Amino acid sequence: MAKSQIEKKELKNSSKIGVYVCHCGTNIAGSVDIKEIVNFSKNLQNVKIVREHMYLCSEQGQNIIKDDIAKEGIDRIVAACCSPRTHEEIFRKTLNSTNLNKYLYEQVNIRDQCSWPHFKDKENSTKKAKQLVKSGIYRASELEPLEDRKLSVLKSALVIGGGISGINAALDLARGGYKVYIVEKNPSIGGKMAQLDKTFPTNDCSACILAPMMVEVSNTPNIELLTYSEIEDVLGHIGKYRVTVRKKQTFVDWKKCNGCGECSIVCPVKVDNEFNCNMDKRKAIYTQFEQAIPMRAVVDKDKCVKCKLCVKKCQLGAIDLTENEDEFLEFEVGSIIVTTGYDLFDPNIKPEYDYEHPNVITSLELERMMCASGPTKGEILRPSDGRKPQTLSFVQCVGSRDEKTNDYCSRICCTYSIKHARLLKEKYPDMDIYMHYIDLRCFGKGYEEYYRMAREKGIKFIRGRISQVDSIADRLEVSGDDDTLGEQISVIADLVVLAVAMESSKDAKKLANILNISTDKTGFFKEIHPKLKPVGTDSDGIFIAGACQGPKEIPDAISQGKAAASAAASLMSKGEIEIEPLFAQIMEDYCAKCRTCESLCTYKAIKYNEDNKMEVDIALCKGCGVCGASCPSGAIKSNHFTSKQIRMQIMALTEAII
């Protein structure tokens, strides 16, 4: 039997397909011959109407489709335009407003797959577009009407991470009447912002901005705060997640503890204080910082010597060193927001900067020095001898814009270094300050003015990468390029400050596996689309916000936290949601119960149930097709991507285009 005869037999003769080709200005028409696509499509089987339009996604373009459905009896739509990721929902809504099922729509991406990659070769770009349009028409002939399913949604949310982004997300949801759980791994909320002294470009006190929000979190009845806790497991699906939290043992009854600090005074054990970047000491029983929320003591079980002096000192009887088991809590939520923040690059990885030298410090260590509650009470002193430095060098892009470490820009380093330099110059006018940079990226509102004021104060900006930091007697030699002068330079400094990169949290991959969400090549959590869905993930009902998604400054982290809260609230507000029917279906008569599909399902959507049957959780299933492709019995059907639909596409793609 000839191939053309097979096609005629396979195609549904009853289909009346409307094909619509978009110019998209010159986005498509500049590299694809639209007239040729139109004429080619007219000759394909089951095609009743072919039209072209300058902007098919416009209201006028959508109305053309509506009119053809109503007047011409079109029962399948094929749009040759741009990406389904951005525009498929627009066309589906158009079909929904008519009597045509929205799943009888096929979109062919001739912009991203033809025009853009082959913009210099119009002939082959057009030929490829014809092939793709034909495959879309063939597939459309086999499309079946489907109906969305409804799921109930709990009106409660989990926020993972208690930094500035998570705090704003939680407060917005709580103000909207939703129950919110905040899980924070540290003893207090606040995140990295709690370690800052001032914030740019206004030089506002960081604590003055953050502390009132932290207090509001603790005083909001809708918010349950679970600090010194970590996510152990998350099961379920959008609308109903079952969360298990490990509440780490503090050895202190927080219901009795009032945060008086007497226990810390009598504790004989001193260890490095992580909050102050290990530049001073804390006790084995401690509160994280002076404005901690909750203001409760925690025993560091790895450092405690069990002398029990704290037990004897506590008049409230809040300390019990015999307790040794972590507590596990379980609860259910309708949505999840991840705001786990970032870690800082370890400059020891770059030995040329000699971070092991006591007078080479990071920007966060300098920040803690500048803070009145920090290890030096706001004075800038050399760690080696406690003297005030006369000459200070800032080295930019340490671990950023470097193919050997992180090839991305960390965005905030230039501006926070300028902040440090300005504040130091204002406090110590006689201090010589140098800043070595590759490019200054001060992109925000008021940031350029902020930079100009720094220059006016006498801070010396040197464009060029630093190659080496060496010890010379009790001082440091900073060697590198001066691109402006076109020569090698060296600066003799008393203190060197490294502007280190922002990196993804070391626990990000573990959490990504628990939540079944993706990370990008840099390790940060990956959004669905950077413009259209910047806080969405590929697991429905789970959102990301703040620096866990990528390097960003405080205003951006707050904005994303609020955006994630808005997305979660819109999901939970109606109490139920509609989900697309693009899930797998198991045909029990053919199923051999080999459980191959269960072992291969990335989304954990297929389970062997109590009735000895394979069951698909439609809320978890993404219709990826792995189960159907691997089933040895052919017992799994993927809605909207059936074997016949795929076969028709392949048939069209393998036939030569004349």
Is 49 a domain residue? yes
Could you tell me which residues are beta bridge partners of residue 226? Answer: 183
Query: Where residue 13 falls among pLDDT bands split at 50, 70, 90?
Result: low
How many alpha carbons lie under 13 Å from residue 441 in its C-beta half-sphere?
14
What average pLDDT is seen over the chain?
Answer: 94
In the predicted model, what is the mean pLDDT of residues 626-646? 92
Return all residues near 187 (Cβ < 8 A) that are at least 6 apart. 227, 228, 250, 287, 288, 292, 294, 296, 298
Q: Do 78 and 109 belong to one domain?
A: yes
Q: Do 19 and 114 belong to one domain?
A: yes
Q: Do 426 and 521 belong to one domain?
A: no
| Residues 515, 542 contacting (CB under 8 angstroms) | yes
The CA–CA distances, whole Å, from 268 to 264, 284, 306, 310, 373 equal 8, 8, 11, 10, 22
| Residues 182, 223 contacting (CB under 8 angstroms) | yes
Q: Do 71 and 138 belong to one domain?
A: yes
Does 5 have pLDDT greater than 90?
Answer: no
Where is 477: in which H helix or E strand?
strand 475-482
Global pTM reads 0.89
Which amino acid, residue 630?
S
Torsion from C-alpha of 264, 267, 273, 279, nearest 10 degrees: 110
**Residue finishing a domain among 469, 484, 503:** 503
Query: Where residue 312 falls among pLDDT bands split at 50, 70, 90?
Result: very high
Q: Do 634 and 520 belong to one domain?
A: no
**Residue finishing a domain among 572, 593, 625:** 572
Does 88 have pLDDT greater than 70?
Answer: yes
Distance CA(184)–CA(338), nearest Å, equals 11
Radius of gyration for the alpha carbons in the chain, expressed in angstroms and rounded: 31
| Percent composition of the chain: helix, strand, coil (DSSP 3-state, to 5) | 30, 25, 45
The DSSP secondary-structure symbol of 115 reads: I
Q: What is the pLDDT of residues 482-509, one digit of tens each?
A: 999 999 999 999 999 999 999 999 999 9
Is 475 a domain residue? yes
Distance CA(533)–CA(540), nearest Å, equals 12
Q: Check which CATH number belongs to the domain holding 584 and give it.
A: 3.30.70.20
* Host domain of residue 109: 3-146
Does 201 have pLDDT greater than 60?
Answer: yes
Does 117 have pLDDT greater than 60?
Answer: yes
Question: Dihedral of CA 636/637/638/644: which sign?
Answer: positive
Q: Do 112 and 214 belong to one domain?
A: no
Q: Do 498 and 426 belong to one domain?
A: yes
Q: Do 389 and 416 belong to one domain?
A: yes
Which amino acid, residue 79?
A
Is 317 a domain residue? no
How many domains is the chain partitioned into structurally? 4
At 619 the pLDDT is: 86
Q: Check which CATH number belongs to the domain holding 568 and give it.
A: 3.50.50.60
Question: What does the block give as tokens for 603?
Answer: 């989304």
Q: Do 108 and 209 belong to one domain?
A: no
Q: Do 588 and 538 belong to one domain?
A: no
At 8 the pLDDT is: 45
Per the omega criterion (within 30 degrees of 0), is the bond before 294 cis?
yes
Residue labelled with tokens 């991406």: 109
Q: Check which CATH number belongs to the domain holding 105 and give it.
A: 3.40.50
Distance CA(221)–CA(405), nearest Å, equals 44
